[in-house]
Amino acid sequence: MKMIYFGHSAFRIESGSAVILIDPFLTGNPHFEGDVADATQGATHVVLTHGHFDHVGDTVDIAKRTGASVVGTFELVQWLSKKGVEKIEPANTGGTVKFDDFSVTLTQAFHSSGSVEENGTVTYLGMPNGVVLHFAEGGSVYHMGDTDIFGDMAIIEELHHPKIGLVPVGDRLTMGAAVAALACRRYFNFETIIPLHYGTLPILDPNPDKFKDAMEDEANRILIPEVGKPFDI
């Protein structure tokens, strides 16, 4: 499996014939350098955790250009369809959508989800989610989305046994470093943990250093990839 981290919560994952983008916030992402079209070339699927601008990101343009299917909670993908996204895969918390090379299950997350429209009104876009991806070639990834810790993370571990955890650590808009470390240590048996959602907005922690410290003797499980550089996992 090949992955690329684009900063904030955005990833590209290639497995089999699938090219999956998760929360592709590229335009306006201060950590992303390069061309959006190049970074998203060949995308077959876009998977969204929730409807905030820093997660939906470039989804509409990507879907129109590549023909990618967009997976997300029902209200969110219906809203995107009105913006010109032709291929949508609506789901909801606990549901699984199966494709040839992978499946995606929506889990709960403790956050919010909506879009501030041009006239200042807020459009409700369904529940926020985490996502678990299982791959036909082996391996599983849990992208927590934006969330606080919650006890039912133990059920996610029991059901899915994810090997790779993509974990928000930046505080203020998600759980902070110490709580994220508690979630990883108490509820999961991740082989690899990639911290995310830090340093891109002024109100977030600037780096994952506090998370590494909080992981103590388990900090060797943390991987901090270079933004925009492919890595195998």
| Dihedral of the alpha carbons of 28, 33, 35, 40, in degrees to the nearest 10 | -80
Please tell me the distance from the alpha carbon of residue 6 to that of residue 8, in angstroms, as a whole number: 7
Contact predicate 26/37, CB 8 Å? no
CA 195, 208, 204, 10 torsion-angle sign = negative
State which amino acid sits at residue 219: A
State which amino acid sits at residue 215: M
Please tell me the distance from the alpha carbon of residue 37 to that of residue 194, in angstroms, as a whole number: 25
Q: Given this model, what pLDDT does residue 188 score?
A: 98
Please tell me the distance from the alpha carbon of residue 12 to that of residue 52, in angstroms, as a whole number: 19
Q: Given this model, what pLDDT does residue 70 score?
A: 99
Structural domains of the chain sorted by starting position, each given as residue range(s) with its CATH number in brackets: 2-224 (3.60.15.10)
Please tell me the distance from the alpha carbon of residue 207 to that of residue 116, in angstroms, as a whole number: 28
Q: Given this model, what pLDDT does residue 30 score?
A: 98
Please tell me the distance from the alpha carbon of residue 60 to that of residue 42, in angstroms, as a whole number: 15
Please tell me the distance from the alpha carbon of residue 210 to that of residue 216, in angstroms, as a whole number: 10
Please tell me the distance from the alpha carbon of residue 179 to that of residue 169, in angstroms, as a whole number: 8
Contact predicate 132/168, CB 8 Å? no
Q: Given this model, what pLDDT does residue 36 score?
A: 98
Please tell me the distance from the alpha carbon of residue 209 to that of residue 226, in angstroms, as a whole number: 15
Query: Tens place of pLDDT for every residue, the chain, 233 residues?
Result: 999 999 999 999 999 999 999 999 999 999 999 999 999 999 999 999 999 999 999 999 999 999 999 999 999 999 999 999 999 999 999 999 999 999 999 999 999 999 999 899 999 999 999 999 999 999 999 999 999 999 999 999 999 999 999 999 999 999 999 999 999 999 999 999 999 999 999 999 999 999 999 999 999 999 999 999 999 99
Q: Given this model, what pLDDT does residue 178 score?
A: 98
Q: Given this model, what pLDDT does residue 32 score?
A: 98
| Dihedral of the alpha carbons of 213, 209, 164, 85, in degrees to the nearest 10 | 150
Q: Given this model, what pLDDT does residue 124 score?
A: 97
